[in-house]
Amino acid sequence: MKTAPEYPPAIQKFKELLNDVEVCMLMTTDSAGKTTSRPMMTLDVDRDGHIWFFTNELSDKVQDATGHTAVSLIYARPSKNIYIHINGTCTIVRDKAKERELWVPPLTEWFPLGLQDPKLCLIRIVPDEAHYWESTLSKMIAFI
């Protein structure tokens, strides 16, 4: 993930913690009310605190998020005692300029056609609430 200067302090802390984890579990809810989790590689946390991912527009998570926009993200890195829980709103974004901005070569493992893949799209999560575990206090701390 990229780090830019002059982020608001809470978002900067949020970004720093997520840089140490990178992969999260994205939880969506389908039309029957069943939740599903899957690993996702975090691409960026922007200045507004929005979290970005790439996906295939034909995936179940896109179908879930289109019908039920409330999602959760869980990040964990036990070796650094980092635990983060985020509830937010998911939007499917089709924006070629944003895709070019966020693209990194390791993504070709999942998207062999790269930016030319017609099924490629972005997921943007706007956090409604976000908490992280503060080990020195033994409690969850709210970002948002």
* Domain presence at residue 88: yes
pLDDT per position as a tens digit, 3-40:
445 777 878 888 888 888 989 999 999 999 999 999 99
Cα 34 from Cα 7, distance rounded (Å):
36
* Domain presence at residue 78: yes
pLDDT given at position 22: 86
pLDDT given at position 143: 66
* Domain presence at residue 120: yes
pLDDT tens, N- to C-terminus, the chain (144 residues) = 554 457 778 788 888 888 889 899 999 999 999 999 999 999 999 989 999 999 999 999 999 988 999 999 999 988 888 899 999 999 999 999 999 999 999 999 999 999 999 999 999 999 999 888 877 667 677 766
* Domain presence at residue 3: no
Question: How many domains in the chain?
Answer: 1
DSSP 75-131: EEEGGGTEEEEEEEEEEEE--HHHHHHH--GGGGGT-TTGGG-TTEEEEEEEEEEEE
pLDDT given at position 121: 97
In sign, the C-alpha dihedral spanning 61, 87, 20, 45 is: positive
Q: Are 39 and 25 in contact (CB under 8 A)?
A: yes
* Domain presence at residue 36: yes
Which residue range is the domain that position 95 belongs to?
9-142
* Domain presence at residue 1: no
* Domain presence at residue 62: yes
SS3 of 38-63: the string is EEEECCEECCCCCEEEEEECCCHHHH
* Domain presence at residue 15: yes
- Residue 100's CATH number: 2.30.110.10
pTM attached to this predicted model: 0.87
